[in-house]
Homo-oligomer: A and B are copies of this chain.
Amino acid sequence: MATPSGEILVPNKQVILKHYVDDRSPQESDMELKVTTINLKAPSGSGLILLKNLYLSCDPYMRLRMKLMEGSYFESYQPGTVLSGFGVSKVVDSDHPDYKTGDLVWGITFWEEYSQIASPSSLFKIEDTSIPLSYYTGILGMPGMTAYVGFYDICSPKKGERVFVSAASGAVGQLVGQFAKLAGCYVVGSAGSSEKVALLKNKFGFDEAFNYKEEENLNAALKRCFPEGIDIYFENVGGKMLDAVLPNMRDCGRIAACGMISQYNLKEPEGVHNLIYVVMKQIRLEGFIVINHFHKHPEFLHMVMGPIKDGKVTYVEDIAEGLENAPAALVALFSGRNFGKQLVRVSSD
């Protein structure tokens, strides 16, 4: 609806965080849907960009933003306001010289139908639309970059090395496993259901996989899969799994610490008891925040586009339909109900 001042006001559905969620699993009821109004016209001189959000990404780090945490890299969400996160969007109006109506972008947006962006420093233009747009929330976006930076830069893999990936069927893990195979490594993944284990072995080409929920003894499971030990561990879960991995590492092993999803809902994180092996096995454990490596995105696209188009790298998505289902989709990550990369389709055009 255009107003006399040239505004185009439309209703805008949003997902609002109601309150901080500290030491329990987040629930759908911690969020609420709200309808506000947005002006889809970027006023002249404002520099604003107006986006229509097409896909929103559900990512584990968002859990950390739902609580207040000392020294956290991630800014906490403000209760009563709309969530933000990665997404794929279309520019519907722009007063910014670098963006024009119709441009497709991926990057940081908000959990709502339309978003107004004042500073596009976290937006990246989508040039190649020959693959599904939703992939820019996953394999071609932040999770893809996470697998790329964590595996290649942090872990420096060599052909023949033994790689273990936890949360291996998730947005990042499924790619780490496939990258490890491309690099000539032996790779084993852990996941939380027999369907996910089958996916790892049959679709992603993992050499071995196990359901961590069905293993009485994680140490024994790792010894079974890695009789000669682990060179590289891609750490997505933390806690008990990290404790079981440490004594099974080989000398001079590398651990890329990408996330520790098993710990995010706990009041006090589990203790990790086996850190002496960091000394004894000369392990390098290194954390990273992928957005500080986004300048490598062009080189990553160059590396990954070929294998995707050739079918040598594949990607499994779990797509929730509609913003109404976004809170449930986000919550599902923390119980492992998602099957592959979890995202939300807000609109198809």
Contact = CB atoms under 8 A, between A and B. Distances in A.
Contacts of A274: 269
A203 interface: no
A269 to B, nearest CB: 5
A183 interface: no
B276 A282 contact: no
B238 A275 contact: yes
A20 to B, nearest CB: 17
Interface in A270-294: 270-289, 292
Contacts of A273: 268-272
A281 B73 contact: yes
A319 to B, nearest CB: 27
B288 A286 contact: no
A73 B251 contact: yes
Contacts of A43: none
Nearest to A288: B282
A78 B138 CA distance: 54
A257 interface: yes
A278 B269 contact: no
Interface stretch (A4-12, A99-107, A258-266, A336-344): A258-266
A70 interface: yes
A277 B251 CA distance: 24
Which of A279, A282, A283 lies at the interface centre, i.e. has the most chain B CB atoms within 10 A of its CB? A279
A247 interface: yes
A74 B283 contact: no
A71 interface: yes
